[in-house]
Structure 1
C-alpha cells in the first residue's frame, strides 16, 4: 500500500467516524420524539414472542392491532421455544377462517438463537449473545420491519439492537414499541432496563403507575391483560 493510499485512509477514517457519531446522536434524538403519523398504508410488523406469560401478553396486544394496517406480520421466537410460534399460528389460522385470507400473505413465523438459556453461565453467554446478535441482524435486514413490538423476553434485545444499528447506518428505520410485562410491578426487566437506559425503544410503555413515576420517559398504558 502506497503513501497516497495511506494518506487517503488517514483522512477518510476520521470523517467516517464523525459522520457515524452525528448519525448516532440524531437517531437517539429522533427516537425520543413523539411518534409521527405513519404515511405507509401498510406497515411490516416484527412481533417478538417470549415464553409463557410473555407470549400470552403479546398475543393480547396483537389482537388489538388493525390487521389490514400492520401487515405482513413476522413472528419471531427463540430457537428452543416452539410453543410460542404455535400459539401465533393458531391465532393467524383463526383470522383466515374468519376472513378467508391466505396466511402466507399476512403472517410469517421465524426463530432466532437465544442470547442466554436459563441457568447458562454469564461467561459462555458472551459467545451465544454475539451469535444471537449476528442472527438478529440478518433477520432484521431480511425483514426490514417498519414496526417492532416486544414486551421483555431476552430474545428482543439483539433484535432491537440490530434495528438500532441499521438506523445509525441509514439502512432502514424501525420504530421500536416496548411494552413492559404486567408482571413487572416495581422494577423493569433486564431487557426493558437496557432498552430504556440505552434509549433504543422509540415508545416505552409500562402497566403500573409506580413504574412510570420511577421511569419518567415511559408511558403508563394501564392494564393490558
Structure 2
C-alpha cells in the first residue's frame, strides 16, 4: 500500500513538473517569436537610416571555422551601424585560430571606419571574444565524445551567463580578450546569431534550457538562425536540428528554392546586401579627399 501511494505521489509530481515545463516553453516561444515578428515587419518597411538611434543591444555571434566564420563576418560588416551603447560577443571554439584572425580583421576595419572623436569617445560598440570547449574534435572516438560534449555545454553556460565587461571599449593589448569598463555591464544577450556550425545549435539549446529553468529572462537570448549560403535546396545538419526542434525564433534561408521547400523566410544573400535589416548599400569607410575614392571595404 505504501509503495502504491509513493508511486502515485511520484507520478503526480512528475506530471506537475512536466506541465510547468510545457507552460514555460509556451510563454518563452510566444514572447520571443512575437518580438522577432515585430523586428521582421520593421525590416520590411525600408532601409535603416545611418542617423537612426539604435537601441542598446547585446548580440552574440557563434562562429565556426572556415566558411561559416567568413560568411558571418561579412554579414556583420555589411549590416554594421555604429552604436556606442551596444556590445558584440564572438563565441569561438577552442583551437579555432582562423576565427580569431577573422574577427580581429573585421574589428580592425570597423575601428578605422569609425574612429574615436576628438574627445576620445568611441563611435562604435564594444566587443569581446569568448572561447568555449569544442564538443567533439575531428576523429575523436565517440565513447569519449560525451565527456568533451559535457565540458562544452558547461563552458557555453558560463559564456551565456557571464556579462560583458564593457559597454564601450577596446582591446587592452594584443591577445588580451578583456575590455575596459566604461559603463554598467549588459547582462544576457538580446540575440544569438548563428549560420550553421554545430556549436551554434548547442549554444541555442543551452540558452533555451536556461530560460526554462529561469536563469535567463524570457525576453533575452532570442535565436536567429540563418542557413548558410552554401545550401541551396537542402538544409544542413545544423539546419535540420533547428528545423525539427523549433528552438529558433527566426529561421531564415538565402535561396528561394530552399525557402519554397521548407516554408522558411527568404532573405537573399545577406553577405552582399545586408538586407536582413533592410540595408541596401554596402559598407563603406571614409577616405581622405586627397585620395581617389575606393570601392567597398574588403
TM-score above 0.5, yes or no: yes
Segments of 4+ moved more than 6 angstroms? 9-13
Q: 1:106 aligns with which of 126, 129, 154?
A: 126
Task: Write out per-residue CA displacement over residues 132-166 of structure 1, whole angstroms, 9 at most, x where no aligned residue.
Answer: 11211111111311111110011212211121112
Higher helix share: 1
Structure 1 residues 132, 104: CA separation in 2 closer, same or farther (over 3 Å shift)?
A: farther
Please say if 1:19 is aligned against 2:20.
yes
Gaps of 5+ in 2: 1-5, 43-53, 117-121, 164-187, 272-298
Task: Write out per-residue CA displacement over residues 26-47 of structure 1, whole angstroms, 9 at most, x where no aligned residue.
Answer: 3234444453359x82110101
TM-score normalized by structure 1? Answer: 0.84
Aligned equivalents of 2:74 and 2:85: distance in 1? Answer: 15
TM-score normalized by structure 2? Answer: 0.65
Aligned equivalents of 1:183 and 1:122: distance in 2? Answer: 28
Gaps of 5+ in 1: 1-5
- Which one is further off, 184-193 or 51-60? 184-193
Please say if 1:211 is aligned against 2:211.
no
Q: Match of 2:286?
A: none
Aligned equivalents of 2:103 and 2:254: distance in 1? Answer: 23
Aligned equivalents of 2:85 and 2:199: distance in 1? Answer: 21
Q: Match of 2:247?
A: 200
Equivalenced residue count is 216
Map 1:6-155 to 2 at 5 A. Answer: 15-33=16-34, 34-37=36-39, 41-63=55-77, 64-68=79-83, 71-101=86-116, 106-143=126-163, 144-155=188-199
Q: Secondary structure at the match of 1:155?
A: helix
Task: Write out per-residue CA displacement over residues 178-218 of structure 1, whole angstroms, 9 at most, x where no aligned residue.
Answer: 111111123211111111211111111111111112211x2
Q: Match of 2:226?
A: 179
* Contact 1:178–1:201 under 8 Å retained in 2: yes
Query: What is the root-mean-square deviation in Å for CA atoms of aligned residues?
Result: 2.7
